[in-house]
A and B are shown apart, each in its own frame.
Chain A
Amino acid sequence: MNLIFEIAWTHVRGRVRQTGFAVAGVATGVGFSIMMASLMQGSQDDFTDRLINTLPHITVSDERRTPPGQPAEMFFGAAEIHGLTPEARRPGIKNPLASIAGLEAWVPGAVAPSVRVPAIVRYASQDVAISIVGIDPRREPMVSDLPKQLRGVTLSALYRATNAIIIGDGLSVRIGARPGANITLQTSEGTRLNAQVVGLFHTGVQSIDQRTAYVLIKTGQILSRQTGLVNELRLRLRDPMISREIAARIENDTTYKSVSWQESNEDLLNSFIIRNIIMFAVVGAILLVASFGTYNIISTITHEKARDIAIMKSLGLSEFTVRSIFVVEALIIGLVGALAGFVLGYLLCLALGSVTIKSPFMDSDRLPMAYTYTHYLLAGAVALASSLIAGYQPARKAARLHPVEIIRGAT
């Protein structure tokens, strides 16, 4: 191996300019791949974090995935009944306090009750349909980042007025209601309530900032005309990635619809998969183009070194040894290119991460970059693999050269 490496290194070192271009090609491919992966991963992580932090990890509502069956259907297995409306049930989760205690016993995280009421907010002759969430300000910080998302107030502001309400800053802009404004809430149950805006929040997710408001749980119950109603249990887990499994178990145990954050954002998460496929395709293409440079240099070296190959074979070096020499040359180019690419990629990430960008779709004014060693390992592995493939073909050809033909040609 030492001999193989020594000859390979001598060949590569003997062509500084050509080798330099091949190495630069690989380095550029690796560097830009790392930068691209970092940017894509960074924006994905940023968005996922925002989703995870903004919404509860699991929402248990008083709905069921399928409407309740008719009693006769349940009693007689073979019966099929047409034309009857499903049995009406009283809204809300039964025995919410017992349910909370039951969940807290095994769920690795926190649980908070809430009342969600669809309503129309009226202000300055504008009507906007929103979702009002009645919350318990003492429990809310355990299940969401709402306290951090408030602008200049705390959740205790909900106790400041009789019907205090905190609205999203998007909604505030839309209807022109600022803190201190008195707005009217109208529900489908016919309840009409005047509420005072005591604060604003900002999550960064427009659908929430424009269409959600928070009130005390008691106010929510008044709006829904149901004393003691709790129609949602919201959970935050210590590990958000197990939300899907926990939600499935809760639904199985309670029969209430239990939705994890992954399920409620399935479309977005699917789009990430497609985005990642596109990213890997582009990164693969970049590295493939870089490998053409490696193929070119190894082909050139084998062509130039045909006489040496013949001599080595006449001396008794095996085809395997000759082939290995040129494969090692390709790997040297790939390895040096990958290492240089790591440095280039890191510098590109730093540079891109420091660029100031103002976007209405982003809270931060910097591009989110993810720094993870897996990007480096992946890009390095692909660079080495493509160099190996690029070098193998000319190496194989070189090893099969017939020494007699070359020696005759040389003489």
Chain B
Amino acid sequence: MTATPLIEARNVTRILPGIVPTTLVQGVDLAIRQNEFVAITGPSGSGKSSLLYLLGLLDLPTSGEVLIEGQATTSMPEEDRAYARLTMLGFVFQFHFLLPEFTVLENVMLPMRALGKLTKAQMRARGGDLLGSFGLGEHMNKRPDQLSGGQRQRVAVARALANEPPVILADEPTGSLDSKSSEQVFEVLRDLVHVEGKTVVAVTHDLAMAERMDRRIELMDGAIVADKAVSVRQ
């Protein structure tokens, strides 16, 4: 593959300062391309989430560089990094992290409103379509606390897709769900890659789930110990 990677990490290290500095990520080199379904696995404390936050521009590396579509980001002003998150990246966390005072539809519309490129009617229509595609059309005017855990997580995925980012970064997206809901969310993420051509990078403890993804990156003590293709796409 010769195309520019969507996200690239070059010798990225993240050390948490303190009396005893803690190394979270160490010398990571990584390239994630379009239409990949990537799992990041490893034991607790191996630096999976830290790496994801660095790739998602939520954190800055102590050394090394993270590139988005070939563009270095560590020296970018915070406003530009925020804009890159708004347009290029969508986040899904272990907990849904929806704003409790807003309706489901308003939560999904939030990134669109922050970007401000659509009219309010267009935002409502897109938000409605997204929620409908995840089977949540009838819940769009409810508050998050009126939904089940699986439904909330699907709303979070819909919100992550609001601005049509090419990359979805998911931190333990099924970690707080029962097996049925986990399967539903996994299918949603898989379809994003296989049907819509997006890239999904998911941190997971669930090795069975990781085995069903296209590529698995394994971390140990902040460093990559394995990076391999694990399944053949059907």
Whether A218 sits at the interface, judged by CB under 8 Å, is no
**Which residue of chain A has its CB nearest to the CB of B84?**
A316
Point out the residues of chain B lying under 8 angstroms from A318, CB to CB.
78-79, 82-83
Is the CB–CB distance between A404 and B53 below 8 Å?
Answer: yes
Knowing A404-B53, A404-B59 are in contact, say whether A314-B91 is a contact too (CB < 8 A). Answer: yes
Fill in one digit per residue for B3-15: 1 if any A CB lies within 8 Å of its CB, else 0. 0000000000000
Near A by CB (< 8 A), chain B positions 38-88 give 49, 53, 56, 58-59, 78-79, 82-87
A315 to B86, CA, bound (A): 6
A314 to B81, CA, bound (A): 10
**Which residue of chain A has its CB nearest to the CB of B86?**
A316
Near A by CB (< 8 A), chain B positions 109-123 give 110-111, 113-115
Point out the residues of chain A lying under 8 angstroms from B89, CB to CB.
316
Of A320, A321, A407, most B-chain CB atoms within 10 Å = A407
Whether B99 sits at the interface, judged by CB under 8 Å, is yes
Is the CB–CB distance between B102 and A10 below 8 Å?
Answer: yes
Q: Among the listed stretches A26-34, A305-313, A336-344, which one makes contact with chain B, having 4 or more residues with CB under 8 Å of it?
A: A305-313
- Contact among A11, A316, A404 with B83 in the assembled complex (CB-CB below 8 Å): A316
**Could you count the A-B residue pairs with CB atoms below 8 Å apart for me: how many are there?**
71
Whether B216 sits at the interface, judged by CB under 8 Å, is no
Is the CB–CB distance between A14 and B101 below 8 Å?
Answer: yes
**Interchain nearest-CB distance for B86 vs A (Å):** 3
Is the CB–CB distance between B86 and A10 below 8 Å?
Answer: no
Is the CB–CB distance between A315 and B110 below 8 Å?
Answer: yes
Knowing A316-B111, A319-B78 are in contact, say whether A311-B97 is a contact too (CB < 8 A). Answer: yes
Is the CB–CB distance between B87 and A411 below 8 Å?
Answer: no
Point out the residues of chain B lying under 8 angstroms from A317, CB to CB.
82, 86, 114
Point out the residues of chain B lying under 8 angstroms from A7, CB to CB.
99
Whether A408 sits at the interface, judged by CB under 8 Å, is yes
Knowing A307-B97, A410-B95 are in contact, say whether A315-B58 is a contact too (CB < 8 A). Answer: no
**Which residue of chain B has its CB nearest to the CB of A320?**
B79
- Which residues from chain A sit less than 8 Å from chain B, CB to CB? 2-3, 7, 10-11, 14, 307-308, 310-321, 402-404, 407-408, 410-411
